[in-house]
Structure 1
Amino acid sequence: MIGAPIVSLLNDLPGLDNVSNEQREDGVDKLTSIKSALHVMKNNEIKRQLDKCPEKLNIILNYLLSPAATREEVDVCIDILSTCVEALDGNSLCLAFKGSLSSGLLSENDDVTLLCIKTISNILSRGTRESFTLFAEKEILSAIVGCIVRPLEVANKSAKVLIVMLTNHEMMTSANMWNFVANELSKFLQDDVIKIRIQELLVECCCQSEASFRAISSWEMFDEIIADSVSDDILVQLNTFMVLSSLASCEHGFEYLQQKNIFKKFSELLVNVDSHPFSNLLLPGLLKFFGGVCQHKPDQVLSQHPEFLTKLFTQMTLGDTLSLETVAFIARGANGKRILNSEKEKFISICLHLAGSLCHSTDTNQRVNGLLVAADLFHVEPDSSDNNEISSILKEWWMNLGLTWNYLLEQLHKPFEDVQIATHNLLANLLPYHDWVLQSFNNSAGFIEYLLGRQSAIGRGVCLSKYELVCRLSDSSKAREVLGDRVYVKLQAYRANGPYYAGVQDPQVAVERD
């Protein structure tokens, strides 16, 4: 039977304590044989062979965790278990490793810890209700929480597992683990860096689950997030701005911040920011906070806190590019566009003037920033792609931005990848959704030739960004109507051939117009 030797090899593995060199070498040979056998087997075959006795894999994990294990033995064991973890279902993984997972999580070897985190992740995502007994395992929960202080890769992956667990309100509640997790997390709040990691973790859980939000928001450490937002430590305060901006992205989080008068407090800070000793740090943080919230709730923020938009316009008159980027971020949403357009005179004379100046700057970095801002300004959400009101607003914005196809073509021929990619991003946001710009560009020399020509895209990033532009156009009914069926067919062929296709290139791409 294919794979049958695996179980017998597992049974034959010698221990690592009080063994001769010959027995040790025999163990390494058996581990290598298991690794080789697994590598030629498909996942369903591995699963079939090990499903009847998944606990046998615990032999490998114990081997891995032995203090006597050499680096070679550890590497082979990790390879074996990584293959099995991908092949087995959640219940089998739970049976195989449950008894040793906490020890593996506490290993000083990050690779071992990452393997155990991946195992738990697969148990949670692939298992049945029975495998969720992990929620009641205090040793495992404690060990996962402890990983948040480890190097960033370990911390981030353990956080993802914790998010899965903490957003399963039913299981956390039935296992009576809310207070236990809160107590474990509170052990690590003394370090500011780890404290921010924990706050980000809690807010992510709150955003994903309103039920979990109700549990977590009662924790004392959650109240500390609000307290930190007015801390005398400017760096702690700025970090908290980012965390609270994320919380405001969900309805219940937004309402919570309103109840805590956070928006009112931050508005007062914004009004008086010039007198703050660290205004050069505080102002960008406040603008980013309100800009992030505006992405989700532009109506409420801009109507209730007009001082925010006033401050943005004031800063843009001083050439502040962060304020310009914040306005562009707000403009990504349809309601954001409407509200900004309600201040049309200021928006055109200040915002579009600054954006256009950057797009035409002789400084390459400024030009890239200007093009990226323009791409955000003309970003259209799928549900607004056929909105005539939005299209009309953007047409007026485009006319006042001062960009032409000839100028953009000039940028696309410059030997700067960042400039080319930023230009592609702008065109991808603009062309597929508005017949007025398609008609204008279609009548411009070199437009169709550039779209269809392969020789114009050099470099991986440029090839991918141009391919994205072509794909969006090939999906656009407006593009088909304006450009004609012949061009549409060629766009479809470009798409089908992928971003890196070279093929047989003609010196020029000539297209007969319909």
Structure 2
Amino acid sequence: MAASIGDLLERISAVDDPTEELRCLKTALLSLPVSAVRDAASGQRLSAVFCLLAADKREQVQLCVDILERILMALSPECLLQDYRAELQAGLGHPNEDVKVLALTQIGRILGHPDAGANVLNNHALLRAVIHCIGEEKMGVAKEAIRSLSQLGGSKPGLDALFQSDLLGALKDVMTTSDVIRYRVYQLVVDVSSMSPVALGYCANSGLITQLLGELTGDDILVRATAVEMMTALAQEQHGRRYLAQQGVMDQISNMIRGAETDPFSSLYLPGLVKFFGNLAIMESPQQVCETYPAFQNKVFEMALDPDLAMTGVALDTLGLLGSTVEGKQVLQKTGARFTSVLVKMSQLSSSGATELRVRSLDAISQLLSLQPEEQTEDLLALTESWFHLLAPQPMEMMSSISSQPFPELHCGALRIFTAIAAQPWGQRLMVSTPSFMEFVLDRSTGRTKEAKDAKFDLVGALVGSPTAAHILGSQQYVRLKTYLREGRYHVSAVAAVGTEGAD
């Protein structure tokens, strides 16, 4: 096959219309594993294929892109740098989006390699061309440029090149193009800042992080909302959270939540503010965050109970996130009647309304009711059991009704709630005492989609994995559940076919 690859490469440059040869080459390459492509392409100059990118023929260009992508991905970053640096740099100026993405992807591989990347740090013409791609109209090109440049954040030489040279000026120049492009550069800065405290220091010293923080108080509501999203991404890392706290960002966002009550446009950015603190609570401490920033907790309850359902989804997601941890469960329980009202609202939303909101309600409930084996203390088991019974007078019947509806998302959402309580003794007692429920669990015909089969398998796994299940459910049911588990997720019982033709 290696010889045929070489032959096809030679024939491409020998014909006037190489379309058919390109198709054959693409087919041949796709039939080979990556290691064989590497062997077949080693020593082969791809200049003929690169030259064909200059043609004004869409199919030809796309075939060349597919071929080059297959071959170049099989080559090492050092080989790319040595043999194809000029071609890749030229690809950044190509009018075709796919060619630019191809070039950016391979340049990103070079920049991410310790040795190969170090050899291009002085090539500012190449790096400036990548920076200019952030300003491209096509988002696919811009995203790949951001991803490639973020590779520089992994080393001090890369950070020096990006933030302590004329490249910083190139970044700032690109930012002036538009609000959209400015935020693409912010995205790069946040991506790099998230990599390490050292990288964050470089970004802070460049002034770009300070400029981003200033966007939080801007007059443009949409710009403000996007800035909050950026802050949320930076807060994913501990050093990022520490920096934001030092800069007073948490207090600033808390004040924005308070001020939202008198802002007629707050619905545009309020979900982002709530998400920020929801993520912060999970990464730090739900109790600490809720006590330090009470405006956040108050706003979540207000949004969850608001008759206007526009904000409800974010509130549900946030409450589920908070309640997924033991500390979060305890914080919510301390609010007493307020949280009880929220649970009742979740139950109502799960049973009726728009499908998306019903699914988000079911997912939030499943997170609230979940307990890991090591978390199953007497108090916490009593807590989750009381919450389940607050959902409805007959919560098992209500969830069973939802699971039987002809909507896969709702069916799976209800199964996730059953899975949450299946690992807890009180949940198992409810299941075995509910008529026909165990038959429903063991019936593989209730849910035809892959997602439904996966959700049912997870439910059975939760039951079998519980140390109390065999005693509570009884040995016969437990053995049937273990058989279900052993047979696998997608087991289909064999049915003997009975023929009538020729049965004499």
TM bucket by the smaller chain? Answer: 0.7 to 0.9
Please, which of 346, 359, 365 is the counterpart of residue 338 of structure 2? Answer: 346
1:448 to 438, 448, 470: 438
Matched ranges for 1:472-487 at <5 A: 472-473=462-463, 476-477=466-467, 479=469, 482-483=472-473, 487=477
Q: How is 1:76-475 mapped onto 2 (pairs within 5 angstroms)? A: 76-123=63-110, 127=113, 129-130=115-116, 132-148=118-134, 149-163=136-150, 165-173=151-159, 175=161, 178-190=164-176, 191-297=178-284, 298-319=286-307, 321=312, 322-348=314-340, 350-361=341-352, 366-380=357-371, 390-402=380-392, 404-432=395-423, 434-473=424-463
Q: Secondary structure of the equivalent of 1:187? A: helix
User: C-alpha offsets along residues 80-113 of structure 1, whole Å, 9 cap, x if unaligned?
Assistant: 2122123223322333322211221222212212
**1:295 and 1:330 in contact (8 A); partners too:** yes
Change (3 A) 1:130 1:419: closer
Distance 2:167 2:469 in 1: 54
Q: Deviation digits for residues 180-218 of structure 1, max 9, x if unmatched?
A: 443333223232222223323322332232221111122
Deviates more, 1:414-423 or 1:495-504: 495-504
Q: Which moved more, 1:250-259 or 1:292-301?
A: 292-301
Q: Deviations over 1:121-180 (max 9, x none)?
A: 44456x5624542444323322333333342333333333333x1331334146576544
CA distance 1:379–1:115, shift in 2 (3 Å): farther
1:38 aligns with 2:29: yes
Per-residue deviation at 1:115?
Answer: 2.0
Kept after mapping to 1: 8 A contact 2:428/2:472 = yes
| Cα offsets for 1:268-325 (capped at 9, x unmatched) | 2333332224244454443333223223222332121223223333444444624344
In 1, the alpha carbon distance for the partners of 2:200 and 2:400 equals 50
How far apart in 2 are the matches of 1:270 and 1:73?
54
Residue 493 of structure 2 is matched in structure 1 by 503
Distance of 2:207 and 2:161 partners within structure 1: 21
Amino acid in the other structure paired with 1:357: Q
Deviation at 1:495, TM superposition (A): 5.0
Q: In structure 2, do the counterparts of structure 1 residues 75 and 368 end up closer, same or farther at CA, with 3 Å as the change threshold?
A: closer
Q: State the partner residue of 2:51.
A: 62
- Equivalent pair of 1:3/1:37 in contact (CA under 8 Å): no
- Runs of 5+ consecutive residues of structure 1 not aligned to the other structure: 16-22, 507-514
Given that 1:291 and 1:329 are in contact with CA atoms closer than 8 Å, whether structure 2 keeps it comes out as yes
- For residue 510 of structure 1, what is the aligned residue in structure 2? none
User: SS at 2:445's partner residue?
Assistant: coil
CA contact (8 A) 1:166 1:172 kept: yes
Provide the rounded CA distance (Å) in 2 between the counterparts of 1:58 and 1:324.
56
Q: For residues 487 and 154 of structure 1, do their structure 2 counterparts lie closer, same or farther at Cα, with a shift above 3 Å needed?
A: farther
Q: Deviations over 1:339-396 (max 9, x none)?
A: 2223234322x2222222323446655543431221232345x696556654443233
Contact 1:291 1:330 survives alignment (8 Å): yes
Which range is displaced more, 409-418 or 396-405?
Answer: 396-405
CA 1:80–1:435 in 2, change beyond 3 Å: closer, same or farther?
A: same
* Whole-Å separation in 2 of the counterparts to 1:481 and 1:175: 65
Gaps of 5+ in 2: 497-504
Conserved 8 A contact 1:205-1:212: yes
Decide whether the 8 Å contact of 1:334 with 1:384 is kept in 2.
no
- Where does residue 4 of structure 1 map in the other structure? 3
The answer to whether the 8 Å contact 2:440/2:446 transfers is yes
CA apart distance, 1:247? 1.7
Deviation at 1:334, TM superposition (A): 3.0
**CA 271–288 in structure 1, closer or farther in 2 if over 3 Å, else same:** same
Normalised TM-score (structure 1): 0.83
Number of aligned residues: 488
Structure 1, residues 198-244: CA drift from partner, whole Å, max 9, x if none?
32332233223222111112222221211110111111111111211
Q: Which amino acid aligns with 2:433?
A: N
C-alpha distance in structure 2 between counterparts of 1:384 and 1:204, whole Å: 36
Q: For residues 190 and 159 of structure 2, what CA distance do their matches in structure 1 show? A: 19
Superposed CA RMSD in Å reads: 3.2
- What letter is aligned with 2:61? V
Amino acid at match of 2:447: A
